[in-house]
Structure 1
Amino acid sequence: MTFMRSTKRYLSILLTALFMLTSMASLQAQAAMVGTGEAVAQQQLSVDRAELKAMLDDQEVQAKLASLGVSQDQVEQRIDSLTADELADFNSQLDDAPAAAGVVGIIVLFLVIFIITDMLCATNVYSFVNCVN
């Protein structure tokens, strides 16, 4: 009888400790409301990137980029790496540009972005641009 009581006691202590350890070790999930503004901004960012990539499908843009030695994949990677502010600034510049100058403006902007990233040692597209570091 005492053996059964002591076994029950040790077993209950062991199970209590195990229960406490597993309940303390469980991860707590944090839930928060996502504001409409945040959701719309994220969706707008995706739409802006898609519109910019759609502009790359133009034959004139592809021919100009090819003549400059820049592949379409490199441009798409750069578009994906743009922050929301940079993308908004770029789109505002496109909105202000005349319709015919849009293609040239896009190409010039990409060239400037390539030069800046070359200077920051992020890429090595142009051999004449030296890294700042």
Structure 2
Amino acid sequence: MLLKKLPYDFTICKVRRPEEIDLSADFYFLARTDEELSLVCRTEAVPAAVTERDDGWRGFRIEGVLDFSLIGILAKLSSILAAHRIGIFAVSTFNTDYILVKEENVHRALAALAEAGYEVR
């Protein structure tokens, strides 16, 4: 399976109101629940008025479109990283999965996944 390292620094944050988010940005993940409005975006695109933020994340994605019938892809990736004591923040889209790790762990994470047989670009 092919993984692509993304060339961005990411921030995970809480936003007060959706109007504060630049929906024209080229790369972001947005989630709203009855308890919060969360945003994962490129660090340079973080809105000015966030209530909390955690900087220093890097990401990679599983290349290609994953069929919904595929089982355990994210579980396998996260278990490999967990075995190397690397925490993750995972995001899924309609097409694929993304995994974010803290900047200080990105090289170890990609090496662990390559060692497990994943091709990393």
TM range (shorter): under 0.3
As a proportion of its length, which structure holds more strand? 2
Q: TM-score with structure 1 length normalisation?
A: 0.22
Which is greater in Rg? 1
Structure number with greater CO (CA < 8 Å, separation at least 6) is 2
As a proportion of its length, which structure holds more helix? 1
